[in-house]
Amino acid sequence: MWPFIKPLLSLDFWFHTSALPFVAWAGVLLLSVFGAFILIGAAIWFWMRRASKLEKERRTVIRQLSILLFWSGISGLLLYWFNWQEIPLLSMRIWYIALFAILIACAVVFILRWVKTIPMLDKARAEREAYEKWLPKPKKH
């Protein structure tokens, strides 16, 4: 196992300016992950365009998450293409670490926003229903 971990601990592996090709399974894994990001982001975005029953705040958070996934996938495929074209500075592997760090940080922000927003929405809906409970209802013909 040590031969697989040893290159990950060297700075030359992450900051090497000339393009180092990926091994076959790593390239397929990266392409699959970034392709899945694009597909999931697009699917959520199309679903949100049809789901009009959700509150505005929930739709906003879900839409932002879908945009994050979509553009992270596009950025990852662009980084992979830089590596494939052997562009010296842009094919450094540290950019993948930076992309995943940004993705995780933004996802945590969206999840925290989601956790903060949902209880407020549920509380406001319960208060509104409690208030409207005593209001006269329109007559149905």
pLDDT band at 6 (very low <50, low <70, confident <90, very high): confident
Percent helix, strand and coil across the chain, each to the nearest 5: 75, 0, 25
Q: Report if residue 57 sits inside a domain.
A: yes
User: 81-102: b or e for each residue (b if 16 or more CB lie within 10 Å)?
Assistant: ebbeeeeeeebbbebbeebeee
Q: Report if residue 10 sits inside a domain.
A: no
Q: Report if residue 4 sits inside a domain.
A: no
Q: Report if residue 111 sits inside a domain.
A: yes
What is the tens place of the pLDDT at every residue in 32-58?
999 999 999 999 988 888 876 777 777
Q: Report if residue 97 sits inside a domain.
A: yes
What is the tens place of the pLDDT at every residue in 81-120?
988 888 888 878 888 889 999 999 988 888 888 888 778 8
What is the number of structural domains in the chain?
1
Q: Report if residue 32 sits inside a domain.
A: yes
For 61, the domain range is 21-131
pLDDT band at 135 (very low <50, low <70, confident <90, very high): confident
Q: Report if residue 3 sits inside a domain.
A: no
Q: Report if residue 34 sits inside a domain.
A: yes
Residue 123 has what pLDDT?
86
